[in-house]
Amino acid sequence: MTEAYLHILKSKYPNWNFVTDPDDQVKLYISCKCEFDDALSEMLEIVKNIGIFFDNKDYIIKLKKGNTLAIKVKHSKKAKKYNKMYTSGCFDIFHFGHLNILKRSKQMCGHLIVGVSTDELILKEKGRLPIIPFEERIKLVKAINYVDEVIPQTDKNKQRIVDEYNIDAISVGDDWKGRFPKTTCPVEYVAYTENVSSTILKETLQLQPQEN
């Protein structure tokens, strides 16, 4: 649970207090500031929204005195399908589709390594530089909770990454089916997020009229 996300919660739900606890078990306390008609529905909405941040762990929600919720998080004992997994991308204009593949990848492994394409590789592959420079893109990916390790992607040699980092499996969007290069490890195809991509976002931004 990052400070940035806590700020979003506080802004979206002004009738609620959100307090983190340094204890290893209790990660978040939610309490209602006052009585209001939609308190229960908002409480359920809040719980649904924060669930995504604890999906790689078990979490218990307890209603305490005074309309206070305690979100207790404990490490899951369920074995993951893979130990180390690798996925990669440009991550230029980060969007929900990127977040989805990182989330699904982390659900399958204990340690997720993400390769972020360098500016030089993008220029070589696409004939243009990215909108967001490499230093900023790699910092953004490092800040995602699902990601355990981030490395520069300097080429498209997946087998080199598999060998160098002892990768058990690679995850990619299912739009790569039938054209992803073969390696010595399995490939997990994650469902492609419809109607969202960096290309679509860039085209949309270019169509927007400039303000005078």
State residue 74's pLDDT score: 55
CA distance 149 to 112: 6
For residues 139 and 157, the answer to whether their CB atoms sit within 8 Å is: no
Domain 82-203 architecture: 3-Layer(aba) Sandwich (3.40)
CA distance 41 to 46: 9
CA distance 13 to 32: 10
Taking 70 as the pLDDT cut, the residues of the chain under it are 1-5, 21-28, 36, 49-78, 193-212
CA distance 61 to 22: 17
CA distance 208 to 146: 33
Q: Which residues pair with 173 in a beta bridge?
A: 190
Element (H, E) at 187: strand 187-190
State residue 61's pLDDT score: 64
Q: Where are the domains of the chain?
A: 3-74, 82-203
State residue 97's pLDDT score: 81
